[in-house]
Amino acid sequence: MTNEQRKTRVLFLCTGNSARSQMAEAWLRQLGGERFTVFSAGLEPHRVNPFTIQVMEETGYDMSDHRSKHLEEFIGKIDFDYLITVCGNADERCPVFPGMGTRIHWPFEDPAAYQGTDEEKLAFFQNIRDQIQAKIQDWLEQLL
C-alpha cells in the first residue's frame, strides 16, 4: 500500500465550487498536512471567485492552481472517506454514489451571494473563511 492510499480522502462539495468548498479544501490541505488527500467540487461549477483567492492569499495560501471542478470528475473514480457538503443546496441535491464514505454537512452562508460594496463583500468572505478554518480545526481535533 502506497503512502497516498493510506491518506484519508476528503471531498468538499458545494453548488458552484467557487468559494466555500475551495476555502475548505485549502484549509484542510494546510491544517491537515500529509494525513489527507483533499478535493473540492461543485454540482454546477463556476470559476473560483476572485474574493476567495484574495482572502486565502491573505493567510499565505496560494490558490493559483485551484480550479472549479464538477462532481462528475470524481464519481466512480475515487473512493472518499468523507464527503463534506458546505451548503444546503449541495446537501439536498448530492446523489449517493459508489465510494462515498461518511457524509457530513457543514452549512456556511454563501459569500458569493452576499450583496454590498466590494469592501463589504470582502469582509463577508473573510468572515466565512475564518468560520471554515475554525470548523476544520475543530473537526481535526475530534478526529485525533
If one compares 52 and 92, the residue with the highest pLDDT of the two is 52
The single residue of 94, 112, 128, 132 carrying the catalytic annotation is 94
User: Does residue 90 carry a catalytic annotation?
Assistant: no
pTM of this prediction? 0.92
Separation between Cα atoms, residue 107 and residue 14, nearest integer Å: 10
User: Does residue 43 carry a catalytic annotation?
Assistant: no
Domain ranges of the chain: 3-136
User: Does residue 14 carry a catalytic annotation?
Assistant: yes
1 Cβ contact list (under 8 Å, min separation 6): none
Separation between Cα atoms, residue 128 and residue 124, nearest integer Å: 6
Separation between Cα atoms, residue 112 and residue 72, nearest integer Å: 23
| CATH 3.40.50.2300 given to domain 3-136 | yes
pLDDT, one tens digit per residue, over 112-127 is 999 999 999 999 999 9
